[in-house]
Chain A
Amino acid sequence: MKKVIVTTANKISSKNLETLKKSLVKKYGKELEYDLRLDPSVIGGIKIVVGSRSIDMTVKGQLSQISKQVVTKI
């Protein structure tokens, strides 16, 4: 049973959740256990952690990438 952790800022709509589950099943197979988490600090977007792979599409993640790039320039 692969564990999937889905983190969003606000509750994900059931329509979006179904679309997400469909694509995840396509990639990782049927045996998936979902853990839906709410974390306002990510501001927006979605973060999916499957096993040891993390796909970060949150606003917080993007902001930290940008800040890292700017800091190295200074």
Chain B
Amino acid sequence: MPTKKNSSKKLDNSAFDLKGLFKDVSSSIAVESVGEVISYSDGVVKASGLSEVQSGEIVEIAGTKIGLALNLNEDSVGIVVMGDPMGISVGDIVSRTGRILSVGVGESIIGRVVNSLGEIIDGKGPISIEKYMPLEKMAPGVMTRKSVSVPLQTGIKAVDAMIPVGRGQRELIIGDRSTGKTAVALGTILNQKQEDVICVYVVTGQKRAAVAQTMKILEDHGAMDYSIIVSATASDSAAEQFLSPYTGLAIAEYFLEKGRDVLIIYDDLSKHAQAYREVSLLLRRPSGREAYPGDVFYLHSRLLERACRLNEDNGGGSITALPIIETQANDVSAYIPTNVISITDGQIYLEADLFNSGMKPAINVGLSVSRVGSAAQLKSMKQVAGTMKLDLAQFRELQAFAQFSSDLDERTKKTLDRGVRVNAVLRQGWDQPLNVAEQVAVIFAAVNGYLDTVQEEKVGQWEKAYLDYIHTVGQSLLDDILKEKKLTDPIIERLKDVVSTFNGLHKELMMVEEDNK
């Protein structure tokens, strides 16, 4: 409560100029297109009149509430109320605003949390709006695009090595609940710190506590300096939840137009489809499979098609989309998952079994795919990761025999041992992203047998110590890997040197000789 002294101070303050507020204010005869509320139920208003309203237009109900005109019928209009629907009565005047749904964006939106309407909800003051971006827009045409060739480093070894994502690609993160989907997405955001990529994290239908937690995590890691959160939580109206991905995309397109690279994460599209189903059923639109409306495919395809890479003539920017879908009981052949899989350029498939057996991130490398593939990979990474997928595939085939390892021939045992270690190297803490040079160094050691002498359980320790070692002793080597972009022979020699020296220094991590020979 401000004290009396404070409030009189405020009035004297020249920044609060009462007279100035009323300067330049004018009133005119308001000619509006209006209608009247005929009925209202469950967040949907049926209004008469409004003969000139446009589809998707914002309308004002009783002067204070905002609604979206979605159903245009011959003699009535179906309007979805945004925000708090309480206090609407039959007979209230509904008027057009002439604005199609759009969100105000400016540079100052970076680091902020907004809702589906673009309103600030983190309480840190208003943003200065530079442009109004429409939520619904045609995707960029074929001739304005360029093929994906620049990598988007997620910082996750399993992804960057074998399921590489490029800037402008759409890569789906799919899995059951609690398999680490959000963790993969957040890890990717954390890795963009040095990369000049703006991140937009769209939350649909989650708990507010979870959003608060996510915001804190991003703040603690300094990620809010280049990220924006769009939040439509579970208690927001279905209309707000259904619009939130489009709001996030509109914000991303503002930066795309300026030639920036943007990463947008939709967490998650399953809840988005459910919110859209709710809105459609309330608008009495005909329902189809699983009670989803007929255009639920179009709902996601028009969203994901706007993620693209533009050619130089159009700014050269890109939007990379990482949509998240939650499956039920690993069923990827359900309606919404199959829809989104067919739209995206690949998927990262997370499995609960892997997660429970300690493999984190729980990525099933066999079922995951990136249709852009090595076109979006650094050449040095391509060189080391090329054999990795093969090693792991062979390992998976032989895994069933792992229990009989003492009865197997040398060759099989070797494949198993190598596979176990390469697999162990893929384990990673979700908040510990590695830059591409570090990844190349670690994977190089794994696929070239330098881990074969390390004890199975100590591979994680080995990796940590090795990275520390290479940062102190071989920082120039890492810099060269980044600079040269491909592994030249001298670099390979230096890598071999560093690894062997390191192995020599850390005998405590190695297997005891008698067991091996």
Contacts and interface: CB of A to CB of B under 8 A. Distances in A.
Given A61-B30, A65-B28, A66-B27, A52 B21 contact: no
B199 to A, nearest CB: 30
B27 A52 contact: no
Interface in B22-51: 22, 25-35, 48-51
Contact of B22 (A49, A51, A53, A70): A70
B510 interface: no
Interface in B387-417: none
A62 B34 contact: no
B466 to A, nearest CB: 58
A54 B21 contact: no
A44 to B, nearest CB: 13
B123 interface: no
B286 interface: no
A52 B33 contact: yes
Interface string A5-16: 000000000000
Interface residues of B, number: 21
A57 interface: yes
A55 B26 CA distance: 17
A61 B34 CA distance: 14
B375 interface: no
Interface residues of A, number: 18
A48 B33 CA distance: 12
Contacts of B25: 66, 69-70
Contact of A55 (B29, B35, B51): B29
A53 B32 contact: yes
Contacts of A35: none
Contacts of A53: 31-34
Interface string A60-74: 011111100110011
Contacts of A57: 29
Nearest to A64: B63
A33 interface: no
Given A49-B34, A52-B49, A54-B93, A62 B27 contact: yes
Contacts of B49: 51-52
A56 interface: yes
A65 B26 CA distance: 8
A28 to B, nearest CB: 14
16 contacts: A49-B34, A52-B35, A52-B52, A53-B34, A54-B30, A54-B31, A54-B33, A54-B93, A55-B31, A56-B29, A62-B27, A65-B27, A65-B30, A66-B25, A70-B25, A74-B21
